[in-house]
């Protein structure tokens, strides 16, 4: 097995479809079926059962996918560690950033970072803050920049406060807006 097989199994597990996996990975369906059969023969197990509804992974197949996820994280850590052994700052930095922050604030920050550390490769994943938090928990990213309050037990730093403004065409009387029954639409 190689790293491409790991990606193949992970994608099959996520989408539960040979057709969709073929489209996503730009591989033919017969090639996927052949690789899946080869992996099953190599381990002497059935990884997934095929049906009209898609793939249903066996318990052995699920175990194999989770094992490969763990090994993939370890391989990334090893690559990063080896790249950082030299005296220069180099390696990979995987960031997960909320969509809004990545659009408005991240480009300027990344530009300055990359000027100071040109040998570091930065990979940015964007999305909902909850998805970024999950990627951090699963060790798929090194650092997360998220919005909102989340129960994160490790290190966190407040990097900005968001200004929220109440605007109106008409004059706003703040005394009238401070009651419990004031709603804004």
State the CATH number of the domain containing residue 103: 3.40.190.10
Residue 26 lies inside a defined structural domain of this protein: yes
Q: How far apart are CA 185 and CA 175, in angstroms?
A: 18
Residue 104 has a pLDDT of 83
pLDDT along the chain (185 residues), means of 10: 86 91 91 92 92 88 90 80 68 85 86 86 88 86 81 73 70 62 44
pLDDT at 40: 92
How many folded domains does the chain comprise? 2
User: What pTM does this model have?
Assistant: 0.51
52: left (phi over 0), alpha (psi -120 to 50) or beta: alpha
Confidence (pLDDT) at 180 = 45
Model pLDDT, residue 64: 92
pLDDT of residue 182: 44
105: buried, middle or exposed (CB in 10 Å: 19+, 13-18, 0-12)?
A: middle
Q: What CATH number has the domain bearing residue 11?
A: 1.10.10.10
Residue 101's CB: how many other CB atoms inside 10 A? 19
Full residue range of the structural domain in which residue 104 is found = 84-145
DSSP letter (8 states) at residue 6: H
Beta bridge partners of 127: 98
Asked if residue 53 and residue 101 are part of one domain, the reply reads: no
Q: Say yes or no: 40 and 101 in one domain.
A: no
The confidence score (pLDDT) of residue 136 equals: 86
- Angle value at C-alpha 125, between 150 and 78, nearest 5 degrees: 95
Asked if 10 and 32 sit in the same domain, the reply is yes
Let me know whether 103 and 64 are in one domain.
no
Looking at residue 47, its pLDDT comes to 93
Same domain, 65 and 99: no
Within a domain: 182: no
């Amino acid at each position: 097995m190689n790293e491409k097989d790991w990606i193949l199994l992970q994608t099959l597990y996520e989408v539960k479809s040979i057709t969709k996996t073929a489209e996503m990975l730009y591989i033919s369906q017969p090639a996927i079926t052949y690789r899946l059969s080869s992996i099953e023969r190599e381990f002497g197990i059935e990884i997934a059962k095929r049906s009209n509804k898609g793939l249903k992974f066996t318990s052995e197949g699920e175990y194999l996918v989770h094992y490969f996820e763990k090994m993939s994280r370890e391989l990334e850590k090893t690559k990063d560690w080896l790249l950082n052994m030299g005296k220069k700052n180099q390696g990979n930095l995987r960031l997960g950033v909320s969509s809004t922050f990545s659009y408005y604030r991240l480009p300027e920050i990344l530009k300055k970072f990359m000027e100071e550390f040109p040998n570091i490769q930065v990979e940015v994943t964007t999305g909902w803050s909850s998805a970024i938090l999950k990627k951090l928990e699963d060790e798929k990213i090194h650092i997360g920049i998220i919005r909102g309050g989340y129960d994160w037990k490790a290190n966190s730093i407040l990097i900005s406060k968001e200004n929220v403004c109440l605007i109106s065409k008409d004059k706003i009387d703040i005394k009238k807006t401070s009651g419990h029954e004031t709603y804004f639409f």
